[in-house]
A = this chain, B = another copy of it.
Amino acid sequence: MAEKAAHASADLCQRLRAAALRPTRQRLVLAELLFARGHRHVTAEALHAEATRAGIGVSLATVYNTLHQFTAAGILRQVAVDATRTYFDTNVDAHQHFYVEDSSMLIDIPGDSIAVSGLPQPPKGTRIDRVDVVVRISKA
């Protein structure tokens, strides 16, 4: 298990270097929190609270910087569901979301389950970057 952690860390170093980002203590810690197990959806504030709780000193500005750098590097993506917060998603593969309005939680919908058909031609001179589907749900 020490091996596994070491391996994961080494792996993260690679990913950062590949993105031309120096593997600093802060970035490694945040990357660990983000990618250590399974996919996650987080806000900057939530991740900052988590890091702080874990005893790691990292400023909120750095959390924001890091989230944006990771997004630019393609290892995170932003999800727009609620105008008041920005969510970051560690799953960058094509997939969609349930958004639970009561609790402001995101739930993944695997990329191969939903199919969107009948898309009209995008306006002349533009290309489609991504098709986002948000299924808004609330307590029945």
Cβ contact within 8 Å between B126 and A137: yes
* B-chain residues with CB within 8 Å of residue A130 when the two chains form the complex: 135-136
Oligomeric state, in copies: 2
User: Which secondary structure dominates chain A's binding surface?
Assistant: strand
Binds B, one of A7-15, A29-37, A48-56, A108-116: A108-116
| A residues 80-135 in Cβ contact with B at 8 Å | 80-83, 85-86, 98, 100-101, 107, 109-110, 113-120, 122-123, 125-135
Classify chain A: how many residues form its interface, as a range.
35 or more
Q: If A129-B101, A131-B136, A132-B136 touch, does A115 touch B114 (CB 8 Å cutoff)? A: no
Query: CB of A139 within 8 A of chain B?
Result: yes
